[in-house]
């Protein structure tokens, strides 16, 4: 039998989801709609009698107080006749988490059902232009990549079973192929391999005297993808008359090896970087990007971005418990005019809402606090939004290393394998273009956080019982990458038909490369296998033996006894030819605009505070659970009314303990327009000064790099990357902060209407720091009337690419320059002062410079201030607007009690430290140059300007 | 600390996620705590009746699919319903926090027998989204052993479906009358206030209710997130110490048995 059960909220009660649909459609320009109610539809298949279906509807699917249900007929929503419907359902093959939960519920009731599908039915009243309504409704109510929309109730039909797969061994004849054919093969099969790589593969198989199988080619393509091996960073680069062999090793990783910190326990080798926390525990940190999937399907892309990065610490060592998430996004401005959004790109507001919802739903359901992040807006992110997701994990120090041994069983745990996400690794290495959403929609992955959560729970129990010897996550490339990596030094044999599938019909290559989410691979000694599988089963998690690690250093794949791949591990992992590319960088010819001469800069300050990059992110932050796990010390929103912008997060992952972790980030793509070197240098400086601002120090601070760049096949893009990487070395080595992990996402270019939109070269630096005593933590909100305010650090004429120039439509030339030796001296002096409890509040200067920092401190603390800038930059004769808005790095404003002023000033001897004013009661916000007021307003006005833009 | 420590079972299921900190709160209060998966109660390897307190912690059990807490509520009813009923009938305590509260309401344990039985539920917030924010709460009734003094406390909420609704004003009045409305959202002075003070649009500003006996208690805010000196969002401002308001729930539960 098939039962269609409809559930609706009774008219007496609000229907917030129906209301939201109405608002979103109005937002999209649909006029004439009057009302909307949402109906949840469950189609249940199985041997249920009518009375049983009634019970399912009554007891499980509807709420007896607020809802009503109907069986095989439209439910009464209370809307009058003449209403019309839109029904949205998942496309065939798209995973629907609600299905499994509903089946479980029916099963718990002792009623059997075979399958459940769900859909959403929107019932509308009003009078609309039908053509316009249908066009918008399909886009607004459905996610067309994974859902389909119908404008009447769907037929009550069960899902047609997927056709079974019939084995067929496929080989690809390369031996005689010319260059053109090789390129065509790479293109047609979506391999994203370049001609040199195809020729290397061709030569290898010529020597073997056979043709590769389709599965072998797929495996090579995945393993050799930019996403997996970072060919650009490890390649040869001709730059400035010299050849750089391996940019990563010669810049970023070089910092780490030169500093050689004993507390760096595992760097650049495992799925995340690991540093010591205390005598027993270590912490892992990894940040990933999920840009291309998020451009196509923001919700699913962001969801699986966060889901994927959680599995990195989980797959580090023998597995780390996730304790914090971070999220940094770059979007086009949310108020971008529709006509400015290129064909094939989603509107930035929709991308923002979808991405935030995806991170929210996955992170919150995993029970991991989202503690830190940033959002940067720039028009050039319109086709290529950047979605960085980070995860911090906690791991016992004796579980940091791992090794699969020959004879260990390969066990797949967690979710089942489906067709979702095939070609993800190669997608992320390709450029997007108009039409990408159709070509690549198969690559969109769908997340199910509860599958990941229950897998995580039981994995950590298995880890503590030492039931396995190695673990890694199924990320890009799925089993192919996971097993290939774990068996690199041993060998592996896998029987693909043993992998549990979501549905029939997958070919061996699809099983092998599927990027279905929530899966991990374990190496399990045979004697532990039964206990391990039993343990997973006891918490309803599937664990399945799919093969064995061998000693033959080969990767052998079977399907029903047929060999479908046999690859030499050495060729697979080391056969990729080193890329050789040319890089150039030419400094753009720029000049400084003349903008000085104003008497009053109040309106400039208001305009900068209202820029979405600077504006409050409270609307986003509150949707994330930032306190789950009970370890929060400094929250993302701080101050008198819990709504000021915290500089960094502080958490206590281990209790009881005084030790804490500081987590922060630095990002400023605008500076790339002048010089990517200084963009990178400033990103590092910003991440570190935020650590300092919450009371941390450079001691035991590590950083992560995530580059998002354009197409590095083009010499200018690559030259910019080389410069940025050089800055990473120059700055981090002086600050003494090793890189422990990183990842790059290249090819962030969008082709449309014959033009290419290239993102500004963007480096995200994430910092993690061990704080010895949580009680030393500071916040940025002003605390007490009468306290003194100091500006620390040198202010220079550095308005290039600043927020001030941005609001005046200028770029300028004088990009802020980090002088790490000076910064280090200042940071060390400041951390000594904060450790001695001399500082009541501290805020770093970033976007918008001194004026913005002062404004944020005042309205976060609910206190006024009176500041005199006469002393700042007086020797250099800096103009007022430079002093107010310059974005010179390595600077802070600190608040000090008058009684401690002498001690504080002594502590800061030898570093630039100017007393600039004091905290006042009331709402006056006054910045003067001697007697003349250059900013004069009240902080509630500033706060309002800052809070309004991103409050949807 | 009592010599025979109070035994607390913190229930776990797929998607539970506040189990560690809830257990930590009870441990800090001196209890002996086990985190137990619902399957262990269903297969009989752990007996609920060996414990004095059952805590159903926060999280997103089964993804909050269908509606928040519904699938676990259904599972508990059908798979361990008998044990839970016996547990309730003894002189024992049950607390449901956030998702745990949703579970207790949806399985009918809250408000339980009485005029309001089956007439109270939790719906989507008026804002239609999940929100994490700190709220002031007034202890409106001391019927439940979890709260003994009528004052103002400060805790965070973090939920998307926390709006208490009743089928009618009569039911709301009956709950009020019977003292089963334990916690109400207020402003910092204990006065009724609209959003965001009442973060969900809950009717009667309800934040937590109990059974007629007071021994089964559910609340949407998270007491386990305010048990350390640094949990308070303004601890760096050195405002008058609120004293880690969440600890009292755990201490009172333990003291109930001493």
Identify all chain A residues contacting B55, using CB atoms and an 8 Å cutoff.
none
Which residue among B78, B166, B233 sits closest to A642, beta carbon to beta carbon?
A: B233
pLDDT recorded at residue A145: 75
Mean pLDDT of A286-299: 91
Q: Tell me the C-alpha distance between A832 and A837, whole Å.
A: 9
Q: Do residue B156 and residue A19 have CB atoms under 8 angstroms apart? A: no
Which residue among B63, B156, B222 sits closest to A365, beta carbon to beta carbon?
A: B63
| CATH 2.120.10.30 applies to domain B7-255 | no
pLDDT recorded at residue A90: 85
Q: Do residue B158 and residue A628 have CB atoms under 8 angstroms apart? A: yes
The one catalytic residue in B75, B161, B222, B231 is B222
Q: Tell me the C-alpha distance between A645 and A64, whole Å.
A: 43
pLDDT recorded at residue A29: 86
Identify all chain B residues contacting A623, using CB atoms and an 8 Å cutoff.
129-132
Does the pLDDT of residue A464 top 80, yes or no? yes
Q: Tell me the C-alpha distance between A69 and B222, whole Å.
A: 33
Identify all chain B residues contacting A622, using CB atoms and an 8 Å cutoff.
131-133
Identify all chain A residues contacting B125, using CB atoms and an 8 Å cutoff.
16
Average pLDDT of chain A is 93
Percent of chain B, pLDDT > 70? Answer: 97
- With cut-offs at 50, 70 and 90, classify the pLDDT of residue A433: low
Q: Cα-flanking dihedrals φ and ψ of residue B96, to 5°? A: -120, 125
Domain boundaries, chain B: 7-255
Which residue among B17, B74, B222 sits closest to A108, beta carbon to beta carbon?
A: B74
If you measure CA to CA, which chain B residue comes closest to A64? Answer: B118
Q: Which stretch of A159-163, A722-726, A871-875 has the lowest confidence by average pLDDT?
A: A159-163
Does the pLDDT of residue A611 top 90, yes or no? yes
Average pLDDT of chain B is 95
Q: Do residue A450 and residue B63 have CB atoms under 8 angstroms apart? A: yes
Which residue among A60, A102, A655 sits closest to B24, beta carbon to beta carbon?
A: A655
If you measure CA to CA, which chain A residue comes closest to B125? Answer: A16
| A57, A66, A116, best to mutate vs chain B, most B CBs in 10 Å | A66
Percent of chain A, pLDDT > 70? Answer: 96
Q: Do residue B15 and residue A450 have CB atoms under 8 angstroms apart? A: yes
If you measure CA to CA, which chain A residue comes closest to B119? Answer: A65
- Predicted complex ipTM: 0.96
pLDDT recorded at residue A431: 58
Q: Are A116 and A3 in contact (CB under 8 A)?
A: no
Q: Do residue B66 and residue A635 have CB atoms under 8 angstroms apart? A: no
**Burial of A56 from C-beta contacts in 10 A (0-12 / 13-18 / 19+):** buried
pLDDT recorded at residue B140: 96
Identify all chain B residues contacting A625, using CB atoms and an 8 Å cutoff.
130, 132, 158
Q: For residue A713, what are its two tokens? A: 């096949």
Under DSSP, is residue A34 helix (H, G, I), strand (E, B) or coil? Answer: strand
The one catalytic residue in B98, B101, B159, B161 is B98
**Tokens 């002792």 found at:** A110
Q: Are A908 and A833 in contact (CB under 8 A)?
A: yes
| CA-based torsion, A221, A223, A226, A232: positive or negative | negative
Query: CA-based diameter of chain B, in Å?
Result: 50
| A9, A107, A621, A628, best to mutate vs chain B, most B CBs in 10 Å | A628
- Count the Cβ atoms, other than its own, within 10 Å of residue A911: 18
Identify all chain B residues contacting A449, using CB atoms and an 8 Å cutoff.
15, 60, 63
Identify all chain A residues contacting B224, using CB atoms and an 8 Å cutoff.
630
Does the pLDDT of residue A429 top 60, yes or no? no
Mean pLDDT of A220-242: 89
pTM for the whole thing? 0.95
Does the pLDDT of residue A942 top 70, yes or no? yes
Tell me the nearest-neighbour CA distance from A603 into chain B, angstroms: 30
Mean pLDDT of A645-650: 98
Tell me the nearest-neighbour CA distance from A365 into chain B, angstroms: 5
Q: Do residue B24 and residue A781 have CB atoms under 8 angstroms apart? A: no
Q: Do residue A105 and residue B75 have CB atoms under 8 angstroms apart? A: yes
Total CB pairs under 8 A between chain A and B: 177
Query: CA-based diameter of chain A, in Å?
Result: 88
Tell me the nearest-neighbour CA distance from B25 into chain A, angstroms: 10
Q: Do residue B60 and residue A108 have CB atoms under 8 angstroms apart? A: no
If you measure CA to CA, which chain B residue comes closest to A7? Answer: B66
DSSP β-ladder status, A432-433 and A749-752:
parallel
Reported as a single tens digit per residue, the pLDDT across B142-162 is 999 999 988 899 999 999 999
Reported as a single tens digit per residue, the pLDDT across A248-258 is 999 999 999 99
Tell me the nearest-neighbour CA distance from B63 into chain A, angstroms: 6
Mean pLDDT of A732-756: 92
Q: For residue B94, what are its two tokens? A: 């049950």
The closest of B112, B103, B139 to B252, measured between CA atoms, is: B139
Q: Do residue A60 and residue B70 have CB atoms under 8 angstroms apart? A: yes
Q: Do residue B15 and residue A453 have CB atoms under 8 angstroms apart? A: yes
Which residue among B37, B64, B167 sits closest to A539, beta carbon to beta carbon?
A: B37
- With cut-offs at 50, 70 and 90, classify the pLDDT of residue A440: very low
Reported as a single tens digit per residue, the pLDDT across A677-732 is 999 999 999 999 999 999 999 999 999 999 999 999 999 999 999 999 999 999 99
pLDDT recorded at residue A425: 46
pLDDT recorded at residue B152: 93
Percent of chain B, pLDDT > 90? Answer: 93
pLDDT recorded at residue A444: 61
Q: Cα-flanking dihedrals φ and ψ of residue A79, to 5°? A: -80, 145
Does the pLDDT of residue A497 top 90, yes or no? yes
Based on C-alpha coordinates, what's the Rg of chain A?
A: 29
Which residue among B118, B156, B236 sits closest to A64, beta carbon to beta carbon?
A: B118
The one catalytic residue in A230, A290, A347, A626 is A290
Q: Tell me the C-alpha distance between B44 and A21, whole Å.
A: 46
pLDDT recorded at residue A424: 47
Mean pLDDT of B214-237: 95
Q: Verify whether residue A843 is a known catalytic residue.
A: no
- With cut-offs at 50, 70 and 90, classify the pLDDT of residue A163: confident
Strand partners, A9: A67
DSSP β-ladder status, B131-139 and A273-276:
unpaired
Q: At what angle do helices A449-464 and A97-108 cross, to 10 degrees?
A: 70
Q: Which stretch of A94-103, A860-869, B199-208 has the lowest confidence by average pLDDT?
A: A94-103
Q: Tell me the C-alpha distance between A95 and A415, whole Å.
A: 11
Reported as a single tens digit per residue, the pLDDT across A2-44 is 999 999 999 989 899 999 999 989 988 899 999 999 999 999 9
Q: Are A366 and A453 in contact (CB under 8 A)?
A: yes
Tell me the nearest-neighbour CA distance from B76 into chain A, angstroms: 9
Q: Verify whether residue B222 is a known catalytic residue.
A: yes
pLDDT recorded at residue A94: 73
If you measure CA to CA, which chain A residue comes closest to B19? Answer: A629
Which residue among B14, B17, B133 sits closest to A622, beta carbon to beta carbon?
A: B133
Reduced to 3 DSSP states, what percent helix, strand and coil does chain B have, rounded to the nearest 5? 30, 25, 45
Identify all chain B residues contacting A629, using CB atoms and an 8 Å cutoff.
17-18, 20-21
pLDDT recorded at residue A144: 77
The closest of A734, A668, A742 to A247, measured between CA atoms, is: A742
Using alpha carbons, list the distances in angstroms from residue A802 to A34, A423, A849.
Answer: 46, 39, 8
Mean pLDDT of A737-765: 93
pLDDT recorded at residue A754: 83
| B73, B158, B206, best to mutate vs chain A, most A CBs in 10 Å | B158
Which residue among A365, A640, A783 sits closest to B60, beta carbon to beta carbon?
A: A365
If you measure CA to CA, which chain A residue comes closest to B65? Answer: A98
- With cut-offs at 50, 70 and 90, classify the pLDDT of residue A875: confident
Q: Which stretch of A293-302, A308-317, B237-246 has the lowest confidence by average pLDDT?
A: B237-246
Q: Verify whether residue B176 is a known catalytic residue.
A: no
pLDDT recorded at residue A314: 97
pLDDT recorded at residue A283: 98
Does the pLDDT of residue A441 top 50, yes or no? no
Identify all chain B residues contacting A14, using CB atoms and an 8 Å cutoff.
123, 126, 201
Q: For residue B122, what are its two tokens? A: 């939790």
Q: Cα-flanking dihedrals φ and ψ of residue A730, to 5°? A: -55, -40
Task: Give all strands (DSSP E) within A127-199, no chain letters.
Answer: 147-150
Reported as a single tens digit per residue, the pLDDT across B105-143 is 999 999 999 999 999 999 999 999 999 999 999 999 999
Q: Do residue B233 and residue A630 have CB atoms under 8 angstroms apart? A: no
Which residue among B37, B65, B167 sits closest to A102, beta carbon to beta carbon?
A: B65
């Amino acid at each position: 039998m098939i039962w269609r059960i409809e559930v609706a909220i009774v008219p007496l009660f609000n229907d917030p989801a129906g209301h939201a649909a109405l608002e979103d459609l109005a937002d999209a320009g649909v006029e004439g709609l009057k009302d909307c109610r949402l109906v949840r539809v469950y189609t249940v298949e199985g041997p249920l009698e009518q009375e049983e279906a009634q019970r399912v509807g009554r007891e499980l699917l509807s709420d007896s107080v607020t809802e009503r249900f109907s069986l095989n007929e439209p439910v009464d929503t209370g809307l009058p006749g003449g209403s019309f419907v839109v029904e949205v359902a998942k496309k065939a093959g798209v995973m629907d988490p609600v299905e499994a939960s509903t089946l479980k519920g029916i099963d718990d009731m002792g009623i059997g059902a075979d399958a459940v599908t769900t859909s959403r039915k929107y019932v509308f009243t009003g009078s609309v232009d039908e053509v316009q309504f249908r066009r918008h409704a399909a886009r607004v109510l459905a996610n067309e990549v994974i859902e389909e929309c119908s404008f009447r109730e769907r037929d009550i039909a069960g899902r047609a079973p997927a056709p079974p797969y019939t084995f067929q061994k496929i080989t690809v004849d390369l031996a005689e192929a010319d260059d053109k054919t090789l390129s065509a093969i790479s293109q047609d099969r979506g391999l994203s391999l370049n001609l040199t790589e195809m020729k290397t593969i061709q030569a290898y198989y010529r020597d073997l005297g056979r043709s590769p199988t389709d599965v072998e080619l797929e495996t090579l393509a995945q393993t050799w993808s930019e996403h997996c091996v970072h060919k650009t960073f490890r390649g040869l680069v001709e730059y400035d008359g010299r050849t750089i062999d391996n940019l990563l090793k010669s810049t970023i990783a070089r910092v780490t090896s030169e500093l050689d910190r004993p507390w760096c326990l595992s760097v650049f080798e495992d799925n995340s970087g690991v540093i010591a926390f205390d005598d027993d525990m270590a912490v892992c940190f990894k940040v990933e990007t999920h840009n291309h999937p998020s451009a196509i399907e923001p919700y699913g892309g962001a969801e699986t971005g966060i889901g994927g990065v959680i599995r990195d610490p989980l797959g580090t060592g023998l597995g780390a418990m996730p304790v914090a998430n971070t999220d940094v996004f770059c979007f086009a401005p949310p108020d971008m005019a529709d006509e400015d959004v290129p064909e094939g790109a989603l509107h930035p507001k929709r991308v923002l809402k979808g991405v935030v919802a995806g991170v929210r739903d996955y992170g919150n359901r995993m029970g991991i606090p989202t503690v830190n992040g940033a959002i940067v807006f720039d028009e050039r992110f319109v086709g290529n939004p950047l979605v960085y997701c980070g995860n911090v994990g906690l791991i016992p120090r004796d579980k940091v290393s791992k090794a699969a041994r020959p004879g260990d069983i390969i066990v797949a745990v967690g979710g089942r394998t489906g067709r979702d996400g095939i070609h993800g690794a190669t997608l992320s290495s390709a450029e997007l273009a108009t039409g990408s959403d159709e070509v690549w929609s198969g690559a969109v992955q769908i997340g199910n956080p509860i599958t990941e959560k229950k897998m995580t729970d039981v994995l950590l129990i298995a880890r503590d019982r030492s039931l396995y010897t190695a673990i890694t996550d199924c990320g890009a490339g799925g089993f192919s990458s996971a097993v290939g990596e774990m068996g690199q030094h041993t060998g592996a044999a896998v029987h693909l038909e043993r992998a549990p599938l979501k549905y029939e019909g997958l070919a061996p290559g699809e099983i092998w490369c599927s990027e279905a989410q929530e899966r991990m691979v374990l190496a399990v000694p045979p004697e532990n296998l039964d206990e391990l599988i039993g343990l997973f089963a006891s918490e309803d998690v599937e664990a399945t033996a799919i093969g064995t690690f061998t000693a033959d250093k080969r990767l052998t794949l079977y399907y029903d006894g047929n060999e479908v791949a046999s690859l030499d591990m050495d060729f697979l992992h080391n056969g990729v030819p080193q890329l050789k590319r040319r890089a150039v960088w030419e400094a753009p010819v720029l000049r400084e605009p003349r903008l000085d001469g104003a008497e009053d800069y109040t309106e400039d300050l208001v305009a900068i505070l209202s820029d979405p990059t600077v504006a409050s992110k409270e609307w986003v932050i509150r949707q994330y659970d930032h306190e789950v796990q009970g370890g929060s010390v400094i929250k993302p929103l701080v101050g008198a009314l819990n709504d000021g912008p915290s500089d960094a997060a502080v958490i206590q992952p281990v209790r009881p303990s005084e030790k804490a972790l500081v987590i922060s980030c630095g990002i400023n793509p605008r500076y790339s327009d002048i010089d990517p070197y200084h963009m990178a240098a400033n990103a590092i400086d910003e991440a570190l000064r935020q650590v300092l601002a919450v009371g941390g120090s450079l001691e035991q601070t590590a950083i992560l790099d995530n580059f998002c760049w354009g197409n590095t096949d083009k010499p200018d893009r690559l030259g910019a990357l080389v410069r940025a990487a050089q800055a990473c070395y120059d700055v981090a080595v002086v600050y003494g902060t090793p890189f422990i992990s990183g990842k790059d996402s290249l090819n962030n270019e969008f082709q449309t209407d014959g033009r290419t939109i290239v993102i500004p070269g963007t480096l995200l630096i994430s910092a993690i720091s061990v704080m010895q005593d949580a009680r030393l933590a500071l916040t940025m909100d002003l605390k007490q009337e009468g306290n003194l305010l100091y500006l620390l650090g040198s202010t220079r004429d550095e308005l290039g690419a600043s927020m001030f120039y941005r609001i005046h439509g200028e770029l300028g030339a004088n990009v802020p320059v980090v002088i790490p030796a000076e910064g280090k001296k200042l940071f060390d002096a400041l951390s000594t002062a904060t450790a001695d409890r001399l500082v009541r509040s501290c805020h770093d200067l970033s976007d918008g410079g001194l004026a913005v920092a002062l404004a944020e401190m005042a309205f976060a603390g609910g206190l006024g201030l009176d500041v005199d800038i006469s002393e700042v930059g007086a020797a250099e004769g800096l103009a007022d607007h430079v002093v107010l808005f310059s974005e010179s790095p390595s600077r802070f404003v600190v608040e000090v009690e008058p009684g401690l002023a002498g001690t504080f000033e002594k502590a800061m001897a030898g570093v630039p430290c100017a007393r600039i004013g004091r905290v006042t009661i009331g709402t006056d916000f006054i910045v003067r140059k001697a007697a003349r007021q250059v900013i004069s307003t009240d902080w509630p006005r500033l706060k309002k300007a800052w809070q309004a833009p991103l409050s949807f | 600390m009592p010599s025979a420590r109070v035994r607390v079972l913190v229930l776990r299921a797929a998607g539970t996620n506040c189990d560690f900190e809830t257990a930590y709160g009870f441990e800090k209060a001196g209890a002996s705590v086990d985190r137990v998966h619902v399957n262990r109660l269903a297969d009989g390897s752990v007996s609920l009746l060996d414990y004095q307190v059952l805590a159903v912690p926060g999280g997103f059990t089964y993804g909050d699919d269908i509606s928040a807490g519904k699938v676990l509520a259904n599972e508990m009813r059908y798979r361990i319903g008998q044990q839970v009923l016996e547990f309730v009938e003894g002189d024992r305590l049950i607390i449901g926090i956030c998702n745990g509260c949703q579970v207790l309401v949806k399985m009918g344990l809250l408000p339980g027998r009485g005029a309001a039985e089956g007439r109270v539920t939790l719906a989507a917030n008026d804002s239609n989204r999940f929100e994490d924010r700190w709220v002031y709460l007034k202890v409106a009734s001391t019927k439940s052993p979890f709260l003994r003094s009528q004052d103002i406390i400060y805790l965070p909420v973090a939920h998307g479906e926390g709006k208490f609704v009743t089928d009618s004003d009569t039911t709301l009045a009956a709950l009020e009358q019977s003292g089963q409305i334990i916690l109400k959202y207020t402003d910092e002075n204990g006065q009724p206030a609209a959003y965001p003070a009442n973060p969900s649009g809950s009717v009667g500003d309800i934040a937590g209710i109990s059974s007629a006996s007071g021994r089964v208690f559910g609340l949407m805010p998270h007491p386990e997130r305010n048990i350390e000196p640094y949990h308070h969002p303004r601890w760096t401002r050195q405002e008058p110490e609120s004293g880690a308001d969440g600890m009292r729930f755990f201490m009172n539960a333990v003291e109930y048995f001493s």
